[in-house]
Chains A and B, each alone.
Chain A
Amino acid sequence: MKKELRHLFRMDKLPHIWCPGCGNGIVLRTIAQAIHESPQLDLDKVVVVSGIGCSSRSTGYLNFDTVHTTHGRALAFATGIKVADPDLHVFVITGDGDATAIGGNHFIHAARRNIDINVILYNNNIFGMTGGQYSPMTPQGELATTSPFGNVENNFDIPKLAIGAGATYVGRGTSYHDKLLVSLIKDGIKNRGFSLIEAITACPVSYGRKNKYGDGADMIVQQKENSINVKAAEKLGPEKTAGKTIIGELYNESRPEYNDLYNAIITKMQKGETC
């Protein structure tokens, strides 16, 4: 690990619990790198919240105030933290199962409120910690322990879901495009509102093996080959980019943030004014 990032990790808790070839460590490093490159953050005021699953074990390794919550509920806990103390810089680390299956309701509503929380969603297309059951992000037709004859369900497009729900900064990267992830997370931090970064990460053990994607290194190469940057995609048009994963900054718009609006009410009410 880079020397400059060590103070952001609980070094005594490493090595991590993730399987050989798992991309989560790469994504976690990009989060630390983005925080390191965001000098406006007071590190004592950074709070990182996670749910349950492989991705959500990240909080144990980061040297901030951290909360490892219940399955799917990270954003609900984080909303409480951010509303209670708007001066805290709140991050949420979650997975595709945690955020879009059991936590789907909290995900869309946190986005709808445009509350200033930075979400990094590790998408490994599977419920990894429980051993490989299909998630809302397991592609149709693919195998999982609970779709032994192929998954019949449709996927979410997570960035589209977030944009539709009201997020103001949305990006997507992969564990291959780690520099892109760092820059997206940094821009998400700058956004005063709800930011969602989808980080595509390989699960060779519980997902790749069953679907014959090879090992972790093979799956990283596939991330490279299957992705196309949003700017290039715009030039090529939809026909030439069909089936590709669009990465990069997908949405960036300024809208009033939840706490800014509520703080104005508190100020008014304390002056005894009426709305």
Chain B
Amino acid sequence: MENKPRLIQGNRAVAEGAIAAGVDFFAGYPITPSTEVAEILADMLPKNGGRFIQMEDEIAGMAAIIGAALTGKKAFTASSGPGISLKQENVGYAAITETPCVIVNVQRLGPSTGGPTLPSQGDVMQARWGSHGDSPIIALCPISVPECFHLTIKAVNFSEKYRTPVYLMLDEVVGHMRERIEIPDKSEIEIVDRKRTTKKPGEFKPYEVAPGSKIPDFGDFGMGYKNHVTGLIHDETGFPSNSTDQVKKLLDRIMTKFDDHLDDILIYEEIGIEDAETVIIAYGSVARSAISAVRKLREAGEKVGVFIPKTLWPFPEKRLREITQGPCKRIISSEMNYGQLSYEIERIVCKNVEFETALKENGLIITPDELIEKVKGGSVL
């Protein structure tokens, strides 16, 4: 990878971020608007000693990366809208088996085939609750091409560190827009590998956690551990259990396994929050319009700020609540859907401040002018 400044699209930055993070396996299926991620990794992976396979369908792409991850590989897939819907059963499998993997979702407008080339943020709740049952998930959301690169590395690192599937949620605008990027030197990139057991085969229990930890050590396939991996409720040996006590023990552990690591996992950006009486909350490409709107409004003397969650799940709830206990009197939640994350935000902030939404889902981006109008009390959104 070249280190000099380049003009590249978000999807390429994701692919290059994956290589930089040590991803050595990709399986997927072509779908607009994420296909470039697969195309670029089909070219880059074998040159870097990795492996790429185009599977027969989306479900197989998700299954194959879980299989690859069980052998110790850093495994990666990319898809969009309908493809993500198809992957959901196996995303839950990755969650309950605590198999590290990254799923890139370059969001397009739905439902169903919807608008394949139109931007949307309609998969935010699917990322959180798309697979059946309760399961833990991390979802990251970049707002720029350089951030596509850096958050891809974070996504891979989180998947390894916390043994979990991680979504990287682009929208079509972020995936396809071209921006300047300077890829940092390898020495500046932090790479995290899953913690592997030092126990001998026979002594190792694949889902046993050390005191004070909720993340079990990993034993790669092929090392003699003779692990059993199942999507059934299992005990610390990995074998199925019908005990309702064990159901609670396993679900309690995995549903709270990020709780002690929120300082590491929660990423967000704030502009002009200190004295802002109105705070816009926006993510993905909408955040770019929000930043632009806030700059213009502040130049005009308005006390406006923007809060940009880069980690959508778990949501940075504590920080948002703090903001609403300061000068902030009004929150405007803006997104390209019918208010998916707004429900979550409203739940967090409604007791302290006035809550409004600025929503649009017609395949067009939310513009800075529309947000300015909204802040001023207009109602174009």
Residues on A close to B: CB < 8 A?
10, 13, 44-45, 47, 49, 59-60, 63-70, 73, 76-81, 83-85, 87-88, 105-106, 108-109, 262, 265-266, 269-270
Query: Complex: how many Å from CA A60 to CA B239?
Result: 7
Establish whether residues B71 and A88, one from each chain, have CB atoms under 8 Å apart when the complex forms.
Answer: yes
**Any A CB within 8 A of the CB of B51:** yes
The A-contacting residues of B in range 200-232, CB under 8 angstroms, are 201, 221-232
Establish whether residues B49 and A270, one from each chain, have CB atoms under 8 Å apart when the complex forms.
Answer: yes
Interface string of B192-205 (1 = CB under 8 A from A): 00000000010000
Contact of A79 among B49, B55, B225 (CB under 8 A): B55
Establish whether residues B224 and A68, one from each chain, have CB atoms under 8 Å apart when the complex forms.
Answer: no
Query: Complex: how many Å from CA A63 to CA B27?
Result: 28
Given A79-B53, A269-B46, A65 and B225 touching (CB < 8 A)?
yes
Query: Complex: how many Å from CA A265 to CA B43?
Result: 11
Establish whether residues B224 and A44, one from each chain, have CB atoms under 8 Å apart when the complex forms.
Answer: yes
Establish whether residues B64 and A76, one from each chain, have CB atoms under 8 Å apart when the complex forms.
Answer: yes
> What's the nearest-Cβ distance from chain B to residue A29, in Å?
19
In this complex, what residue of A is CB-closest to B47?
A269
A66 contacts across to B, CB distance below 8 A: 226-229
In this complex, what residue of B is CB-closest to A88?
B222
Given A88-B71, A269-B46, A73 and B60 touching (CB < 8 A)?
yes
Query: Complex: how many Å from CA A76 to CA B28?
Result: 11
Query: Complex: how many Å from CA A114 to CA B56?
Result: 14
> What's the nearest-Cβ distance from chain B to residue A166, in Å?
13
> What's the nearest-Cβ distance from chain A to residue B87, in Å?
11
The A-contacting residues of B in range 47-69, CB under 8 angstroms, are 47, 49, 51, 53, 55-57, 59-60, 63-69
In this complex, what residue of A is CB-closest to B227?
A65
**Any A CB within 8 A of the CB of B258:** no
Interface centre among B57, B66, B223 (most CB of A within 10 A): B66
Establish whether residues A84 and B25, one from each chain, have CB atoms under 8 Å apart when the complex forms.
Answer: yes
Q: 9 new A-B pairs (CB below 8 Å) besides A70-B231, A76-B55?
A: A65-B221, A65-B225, A67-B228, A77-B63, A80-B27, A81-B221, A85-B72, A266-B46, A269-B46
A64 contacts across to B, CB distance below 8 A: 226
A270 contacts across to B, CB distance below 8 A: 46-47, 49
**Any A CB within 8 A of the CB of B90:** yes
Establish whether residues A84 and B75, one from each chain, have CB atoms under 8 Å apart when the complex forms.
Answer: yes
Q: Interface of chain B, helix or strand or loop or mixed?
A: mixed
A269 contacts across to B, CB distance below 8 A: 46-47
In this complex, what residue of B is CB-closest to A45?
B222
Given A13-B239, A60-B228, A84 and B67 touching (CB < 8 A)?
yes
Interface string of B163-205 (1 = CB under 8 A from A): 0000000000000000000000000000000000000010000
**Any A CB within 8 A of the CB of B150:** no
> What's the nearest-Cβ distance from chain B to residue A60, in Å?
6
B239 contacts across to A, CB distance below 8 A: 13, 60
6 inter-chain pairs at a CB distance below 8 angstroms, sorted by A residue, are A60-B240, A68-B231, A73-B60, A77-B64, A79-B60, A270-B49
Establish whether residues A106 and B60, one from each chain, have CB atoms under 8 Å apart when the complex forms.
Answer: yes
Establish whether residues A79 and B226, one from each chain, have CB atoms under 8 Å apart when the complex forms.
Answer: no
How many chain B residues touch A (CB < 8 A): the figure is: 42
In this complex, what residue of B is CB-closest to A50?
B230
Residues on B close to A: CB < 8 A?
25, 27, 46-47, 49, 51, 53, 55-57, 59-60, 63-73, 75, 89-90, 93, 201, 221-232, 239-240
Query: Complex: how many Å from CA A109 to CA B56?
Result: 7
Query: Complex: how many Å from CA A10 to CA B226?
Result: 10
Interface centre among B60, B69, B240 (most CB of A within 10 A): B60
Given A45-B222, A262-B51, A269-B47, A109 and B71 touching (CB < 8 A)?
no
In this complex, what residue of B is CB-closest to A49?
B67
Given A44-B222, A85-B221, A87-B222, A70 and B71 touching (CB < 8 A)?
no
B222 contacts across to A, CB distance below 8 A: 44-45, 47, 65, 85, 87-88
Query: Complex: how many Å from CA A108 to CA B222?
Result: 27
Establish whether residues B57 and A105, one from each chain, have CB atoms under 8 Å apart when the complex forms.
Answer: yes
Query: Complex: how many Å from CA A83 to CA B68?
Result: 7
Contact of B68 among A60, A65, A84, A87 (CB under 8 A): A84
Establish whether residues A44 and B232, one from each chain, have CB atoms under 8 Å apart when the complex forms.
Answer: no
Query: Complex: how many Å from CA A66 to CA B64?
Result: 15
Query: Complex: how many Å from CA A162 to CA B90?
Result: 25
Establish whether residues B66 and A44, one from each chain, have CB atoms under 8 Å apart when the complex forms.
Answer: no
Given A65-B225, A65-B227, A70-B231, A81 and B71 touching (CB < 8 A)?
yes
B51 contacts across to A, CB distance below 8 A: 83-84, 262, 266
Establish whether residues B229 and A67, one from each chain, have CB atoms under 8 Å apart when the complex forms.
Answer: yes
In this complex, what residue of B is CB-closest to A86?
B51
> What's the nearest-Cβ distance from chain B to residue A79, in Å?
5
Given A13-B239, A70-B90, A80 and B65 touching (CB < 8 A)?
yes
A65 contacts across to B, CB distance below 8 A: 70, 221-222, 225-227
B89 contacts across to A, CB distance below 8 A: 70
Query: Complex: how many Å from CA A105 to CA B63?
Result: 13
Contact of B59 among A10, A47, A76, A87 (CB under 8 A): A76
Establish whether residues A68 and B230, one from each chain, have CB atoms under 8 Å apart when the complex forms.
Answer: yes
